[in-house]
Amino acid sequence: MLPRPGGADEGAEEAQKLRIQAVLQEICVQLQLLISDVEFSSIMRPHVDPEELNGPYPGLRKI
């Protein structure tokens, strides 16, 4: 049997759309936070060229 327009099924469908929208919005917020964390980390810890790494002590620059 097909649902009638304007019936209870429409309310349930609208509630599901709102839940999906809320989840997607939370995902976007978390992605924005992650991106800003990565940007901050790259500013605070600049990239080190692998050729400048010194043997068994990564992170030490060759003199």
What integer pLDDT is reported at residue 15 of this predicted model?
Answer: 95
Choice between 58 and 8, residue whose per-residue pLDDT is larger: 8
What integer pLDDT is reported at residue 9 of this predicted model?
Answer: 84
pLDDT tens-digit readout, 20-47: 999 999 999 999 988 888 777 766 665 6
Name the burial class of residue 39, with classes exposed (0-12), middle (13-18) and buried (19+) by CB atoms within 10 angstroms of its CB.
exposed
Q: Are the beta carbons of 17 and 26 closer than 8 angstroms?
A: no
Show Cβ contacts of residue 3 under 8 Å, excluding neighbours closer than 6 positions. 9, 10
pLDDT tens-digit readout, 45-60: 656 655 555 556 555 5
Please, where are the H alpha helices in the chain?
8-44
